[in-house]
Amino acid sequence: MPDNWGYVFAAYGLAVIALGAYWRRLARRAKSLAGPGGSE
Amino acid sequence: MTRALRWLTALALIAGLGAAFGYAPREAVQGNVQRIMYLHVPAVLTAYLAFALVFVGSLGYLFTRRMGWDRLAVAAAEPGVLFTGLTIVSGSIWGKPTWGTWWTWDARLTSTAVLFLVYVGYLLLRGMVDEPDRRARYAAVVGILGAANIPIVHFSVKWWRALHQPSTILGPEPSPIAAPIALTLLVNWIAFTLLFLYFLARRAEIARLEESHAG
């Protein structure tokens, strides 16, 4: 069976993009709702 | 608390990636494409956990009418949809070199797609109803009915003739997986569970802030 690294990196790459985008979306939304100076 | 969880999650994800690419051996039959399983399996187990919490939050809301239960449900549903989407996409990418096709209308694949659509519908429904109590009540009904699909997804490979392999992690028999592969799966499962808990905490906090802004 060939190694198919391209498929492996595609799967992990898409996962990193999707999870990272959701992580950033939550952070931005929380920051905007918390107002100036708000974080966690 | 959330800050500590964030760092713990980041460390666990790094450990999971290290195990998937540096520790786990090349699988004898499938080759390196099997490494996609360290993403695919933890993703679906995390989705099960998420939708089980949607079920608990929905039941809790209907019994008590307290918005905290509704916040739990929505905070679990969003990442649940994300992890189900990852399950489907990673499975499809694994399926092309292994089965020779991106998609087939197999019982496991089809029921997982239905699970994904049900909870996308759950989120769309929430977006369409403005009044908080009505929104929480309608969503709770969908959250409870939608959970019926979780055992269908899990046991589909037993109940119907399927191309998808039977359960090896949550199956009734002892797992035949080699120790390094099982350990890598476990590390990634823990990492994904921590990531889900981090998403859950942040999303629940956002829901609380949205309520206080609206009220």
Q: What is the ipTM of this complex?
A: 0.90
Which pLDDT value is given to residue A26?
Answer: 96
On chain A, the residues whose CB falls within 8 A of the CB of B213 are 33
Which pLDDT value is given to residue B161?
Answer: 72
Which pLDDT value is given to residue B169?
Answer: 65
Please give the domain boundaries of chain B with CATH numbers for all domains. 2-214 (1.20.120)
pTM: 0.92
For chain A, give the secondary structure using H, E and C.
Answer: CCCCHHHHHHHHHHHHHHHHHHHHHHHHHHHHHHCCCCCC
The 10 Å Cβ neighbour count of residue B96 is 15
For residue B32, give how far its alpha carbon lies from the nearest alpha carbon of chain A (Å): 5
Which pLDDT value is given to residue A2?
Answer: 67
Of B89, B96, B210, the CB nearest to A14: B89
For the purposes of burial, counting CB atoms within 10 Å of the CB of A17, is it exposed (0-12), middle (13-18) or buried (19 or more)? exposed
On chain A, the residues whose CB falls within 8 A of the CB of B43 are 15
Residues 6+ apart with CB under 8 A from B24: B35, B38, B180, B181, B184
Mean pLDDT for the stretch of residues A16-27: 96
How far apart (Å, rounded) are the C-alpha atoms in residues B199 and A19?
10
End-to-end, the C-alpha distance of chain A in Å comes to: 47
On chain B, the residues whose CB falls within 8 A of the CB of A33 are 206, 209-210, 213
Residues 6+ apart with CB under 8 A from B48: B150, B154
For residue A28, give how far its alpha carbon lies from the nearest alpha carbon of chain B (Å): 10
Which pLDDT value is given to residue B67?
Answer: 95
Reading chain B (215 residues) residue by residue, the pLDDT tens digits are 788 999 999 999 999 999 999 999 988 888 899 999 999 999 999 999 999 999 999 999 999 999 999 999 999 999 999 999 999 999 999 999 999 999 999 889 999 999 999 999 999 999 999 899 999 999 999 999 999 999 988 888 777 777 777 776 666 666 678 889 999 999 999 999 999 999 999 999 999 998 888 76
For chain B positions 154-193, those within 8 Å of chain A (CB to CB) are none
Q: Is B33 on the interface with A (CB under 8 A)?
A: yes
For B70-83, give the secondary structure using H, E and C.
Answer: HHHHHHHHHHHHHH
Tell me if residue B31 falls in helix, strand or coil: strand
A8-17 pLDDT per residue, tens: 999 999 999 9
For residue B83, give how far its alpha carbon lies from the nearest alpha carbon of chain A (Å): 9
Of B39, B97, B205, the CB nearest to A15: B39
Query: Chain B: residue nearest A33 by CA?
Result: B209
Of A5, A15, A33, the CB nearest to B86: A15
Interchain CB contacts (distance < 8 Å): A and B: 72
Please give the structure tokens belonging to residue B129. Answer: 């109803």
